Amino acid sequence: MTTASPEGGSTSSLPRSPSASSLYKQSAAANMMSAPPAVLAADTFAYNLPRSSSTHSFRAPFLSPASRPSSVWAPPSYNNPPTASPAASTTALPLSATLPPTSLKGRTLMPSARLATPLTKEDKPWLATRPPRTRLSYAITLLCIIAGLGGAALLCYTGVRGVPLLDPNSLCLVLDEEFDSSTLDTSTWTRDVELGGFGNGEFQMTTTSDDNLYITDGELYFMPTLTPDSVLSASNYTLPGCTATLADGSTNTSACSVEVSGATVINPVMSARINTMGKKTIKYGKVEVRAKMPAGDWLWPAIWLLPQNDEYGAWPLSGEIDLVESRGNGATYTSQGNNFVRATLNYGPLPGLVNQIYGWFSLKRTNYAQDFHTYTLEWTEDFIRASVDARTHAMLLTQTKTDKSSYWKKAGFPATATNASSGADVAVQDVWSNGTRAAPFDKDFYLIMDLAVGGTSGWFPDDVGDKPWFDGSLTAMRDFANAKATWSATWPSDASDRAMRVDYVKMWEVCS
């Protein structure tokens, strides 16, 4: 058929695209609407859909596929509309006539497949004969279980038996200090009064002042304070009551006085240090100290032991036992702040050749400046253990049960080393060959407690935690003093938090 165009021409007959109305008539929704009323009543999801009379052929992106007028896609048509009841399956097995179907809220349910009565042995012929090797598999399984339990028990037993212990019945009490009096017992303790840095380049001076060492409520306080401006402004300073002496017994001038110059300043902090040298010593035994560590940047609390007599030679030949050391810096300090405590053994055949055996223990949710903890040293010829609060919380454990595990063997010192003073190579000799396998830790040691500040020994590594000085600098103490406004601001104003507080000190020695 040919029709005239508006321009006067003619066009051939073209197939007409289906309208939205015709598409809807073929859709599932239209079939459902034409279903019998019973079906619509049973199907709660059949809705009256509005019929569109539009003849537009564009595709609306927001319409559902069944409503989009398109010449490409058309919904399937249903010649047989659904009936009210489902047709019987041609593939499923028919239901038993003896089990009538049930209904729930008008819907037909499948009958239960539950057995009316349990099956008997006759109904289970596969159980009449046991599969081959069943008993063997049971026996092997049971044997493996018993062997595993036995092995675990043996492992626990040998582990417990292998833990070195110090028999409490073998100990004799040497010191029981509760700090009950208002003053320090001078028959037990001696104050170290110096400003020379104690070999570590420490920045504090230790004084005789009761502002830096005092007893309150049965606790001994090591309290760091800022050096008064009246002292810092002087051109030179001599520490009152200085106890630093030389080997011949004369006063160590460099550790008792200071003259201000371009590189030298007066120590910017005052603190305290005490010891039991010549009064309370032990050789093998136990030390127990209950203490609370201080808070504040660059504070360095320590509880440690040194030999009563340098029988193997001056430090480090005669050894050093650090029961506990810490840092006052907070937990964000990346070189172990006050949430860590550390124990160390220091010894060596030469001043420039020192071996360290060390370990630490840490807290996850708190720190050692928030509460008291008990620090314990157990020391025999066979082992040395330093722990906090319990034996299982060992900071350090080293054993010397045989000559092959002596401290000399543990260190693995080289055959030769460079003498720090002369620069010449010298042979490294076993200076402890005449001692026991526990040498140099086989002599009498005394106890020291102090609160240091800063230092150039490496305890506070360079470039960590905004450290305001470098250990190798000639102006290290001056640089530290110039940053006083920064680090002093981190020191608590409350003495109970700034000070190292000691509740008690106990020492026992292995009875001879």
Strand order in the sheet with 204-206: 204-206, 269-271, 225-226
What are the backbone angles phi and psi of residue 505, rounded to the nearest 5°?
-135, 130
For the stretch 386-406, pLDDT in tens is 999 999 999 999 999 999 999
Across 277-296, average pLDDT: 98
Judged against a pLDDT cut of 50, whether residue 23 lies above it is answered with: no
- Residue 15 banded pLDDT, cuts 50, 70, 90: very low
User: Between 250 and 81, whose confidence is greater?
Assistant: 250
Instruction: Write the DSSP assignment of 324-366 as a string of letters.
Output: EE---S-TT-TTT-TTEEEEEEEEEEETTEEEEEEEEEE-SSS
CA distance 452 to 322: 14
- Residue 131 banded pLDDT, cuts 50, 70, 90: confident
Global pTM exceeds 0.95: no
Query: Residue written as tokens 């004969």?
Result: 129
CA distance 444 to 306: 9
Q: Where would I find the H helices in 350-489?
A: 407-411, 476-482, 484-487
Alpha carbon distances (Å) from 20 to 59, 63, 77, 120: 10, 11, 15, 66
Strands 269-271 and 204-206: parallel
CA distance 510 to 171: 5
The pLDDT of residue 401: 92
CB of 235 within 8 A of CB of 265? no
All structural domains of the chain, each given as residue ranges with its CATH number in brackets, are: 171-510 (2.60.120.200)
CA torsion through residues 334, 340, 341, 342, sign: negative
Token duo for residue 24: 């809807």
